[in-house]
Amino acid sequence: MMFKKKRKFSVDIPTASMGDIVFLLLIFFMVTTVFNNEMGLQIVLPEDSKEEIKVKSETIVKVRIDKFGNVKISYFADGTEITEPVEWRNVSDKTIEILEMDIEEKLIFSIIPTRLAKYEYMIRVFDQLKIAFEKTGRTERISLSPAEDDED
Amino acid sequence: MKFERIEKEKAEINTASVSDIVFLLLIFFMVSTVFKAEQGLKVELPEAMAAKKISIKHIAHIWVGYKGDNGVVSIDDRIVPIGKVKDIMQLKKRINPNVIVSIMADKDTPYWISNDIFGQLIKANTLRVSLAARVISDIK
């Protein structure tokens, strides 16, 4: 009786294609990667407290925005309230002007849009205020007030 | 006199480390990849100059659009009524107390919709908010 000779196989895993696989994976992840670039204007909302905090009306600068995007700034100077219409592009300059008059650094800027004002109008005024605070190096004191009704 | 024999060297670039480099790159991209989790609404964000980068770790998105006179709010790819925002955000706050709410609102939505959402967020005690905007370097 004759037995077949068993052939000896070498037991190597071929790794020649490893590089190809890794490159493929690499290209897949490179293509699908989306780096985080979320940008936004940050704000901290007021707490929902039953107690009302009383603030002197002289320390509040009201920035009203109507449905057409017109901006009016009301502030106190020498005890009298002044209301001025301001082009939105000039809000930051006007804010810097008001901030420079406020030596005690007590002023709070309150944005009051009307109900039908576009979101964009609010954002661009908010942006202008932020820029002004950044330029003057003051701590940010900006609040978003509840919407007012539109005048017809 | 004896001369030393000049050995002939093969001019090859060593490619043994290529796979190491590629693996390193691969791991970098695998770790840094964030797959898009939600589709959201089609919105055109407003522009702002003072917008800052926010860390993606704690973010919860609220997409705000409008249809006619009504507001459309989408959270986690589900359209929700504005009155429900409070409950959803309370849940998110419980899961992550440091949650930052990023409001992705269309620039043309009337302000009252975002005003109502702010009211809901205050009730849910999620007070850290980011108003998403496209960054521009100068006013047009």
> Cα separation of A112 and A149, whole Å?
10
A and B: number of Cβ contacts within 8 A: 156
- Phi/psi at A20 (5° precision): -60, -45
Residue keyed to tokens 């991209």: B29
Q: Token pair of A4, please?
A: 């077949």
What pLDDT is recorded for position B64?
A: 92
Q: Which tens digit of pLDDT belongs to each residue from B68-103?
A: 888 899 998 889 999 999 999 999 999 999 999 999
The 3 state secondary structure assigned to chain B is CCCCCCCCCCCCCCCCCHHHHHHHHHHHHHHHCCCCCCCCCCCCCCEECCCEECCHHHEEEEEEEEECCEEEEEECCEEECHHHHHHHHHHHHHHCCCCEEEEEECCCCEHHHHHHHHHHHHHHCCCEEEEECEECCCCC
What percentage of chain B reaches a pLDDT higher than 90? Answer: 34
Q: Which tens digit of pLDDT belongs to each residue from A18-76?
A: 878 888 888 888 888 777 678 889 898 888 877 777 778 888 899 999 989 899 999 88
| A67 lies in some domain | yes
B136 and chain A: CB distance < 8 Å anywhere? Answer: no
Residue of A nearest to B104 (CA): A40
Residue A2 has pLDDT above 70, yes or no: no
Q: What range defines the domain where residue A106 resides?
A: 57-144
- Neighboring chain A residues of B109 at a CB cutoff of 8 Å: 118-119
Q: Token pair of B68, please?
A: 């006619």
- Was domain B47-135 assigned CATH 3.40.50.970? no
Closest partner residue to B111 (CB to CB) among A43, A44, A115 is: A115
DSSP summary character for residue A144: E
Number of domains in chain A: 1
Residues A87-91 have a mean pLDDT of: 89
> Cα separation of A151 and A66, whole Å?
8
Residue B134, number of CB atoms within 10 A of its CB: 12
- Is B26 in Cβ contact with A26 (below 8 Å)? yes
- How far away is chain A from the Cα of B5, in angstroms, using its nearest Cα? 36
| A134 lies in some domain | yes
If DSSP codes are grouped into helix, strand and coil, which group holds residue A53? coil
Residue of A nearest to B103 (CA): A40
Which of A41, A43, A93 is the best residue to mutate to test the B interface, defined by the most B CB atoms within 10 Å of its own CB? A41
- Neighboring chain B residues of A114 at a CB cutoff of 8 Å: 111
| CA nearest to A131, candidates B37, B106, B49 | B49
User: Could you tell me if B130 and A36 are in contact, meaning their C-beta atoms sit under 8 angstroms apart?
Assistant: no
Residues B59-73 have a mean pLDDT of: 88
What pLDDT is recorded for position B93?
A: 92
Q: Tell me if ipTM is over 0.95.
A: no
> Cα separation of A44 and A49, whole Å?
15
- Is A39 in Cβ contact with B135 (below 8 Å)? yes
